[in-house]
């Protein structure tokens, strides 16, 4: 394994990090810094904050969010297959069909259980 081939990647990471920190420092040093009470107050959807910040949320919010992320990531797995569709042959095609069938069964199960209903 020749590590010299990875030097441009390391250089890119170092330069990007330095530029990022330089821009943050420039904004901090050159930008105005005039804090006042309203600017430092908590902002919550256009109105004053109410209640405790540790109040309970409905579980359905988290359930829908997790389901969205799960299915979104599973669909993202289809992009590499779509690009390499011509080279994977029939084995790759049927593998993706099994993957989509499992995905569809999971989606139907969620739908039947009412996980996607928002009351």
Task: For residue 118, tell me if it sits in a domain.
Answer: no
Question: Tens of pLDDT along 44-73?
Answer: 566 666 666 677 767 777 777 888 888 888
pTM, 2 dp: 0.47
What is the domain extent for residue 63?
Answer: 5-113
Split into its structural domains, the chain has a count of 1
**92, exposed or middle or buried, with CB in 10 Å at 0-12, 13-18, 19+?**
middle
User: Which of 40 and 9 is assigned the larger pLDDT?
Assistant: 9
Task: For residue 119, tell me if it sits in a domain.
Answer: no
Contacts of 107 (CB under 8 A, 6+ apart): 71
């Amino acid at each position: 394994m020749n590590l010299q081939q990875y030097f441009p990647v390391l250089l890119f990471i170092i330069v990007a990090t330095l530029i990022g920190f330089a821009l943050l420092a420039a904004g901090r040093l050159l930008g105005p810094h005039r804090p006042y009470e309203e600017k430092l107050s908590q902002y919550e959807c256009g109105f004053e904050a109410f209640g405790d910040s540790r109040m309970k949320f409905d579980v359905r919010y988290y359930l829908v969010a997790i389901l969205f992320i799960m299915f979104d990531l599973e669909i993202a797995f289809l992009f590499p297959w779509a690009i390499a569709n011509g080279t994977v042959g029939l084995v790759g095609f049927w593998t993706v069909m099994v993957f989509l069938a499992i995905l569809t069964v999971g989606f139907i199960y969620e739908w039947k259980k009412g996980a996607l209903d928002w009351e």
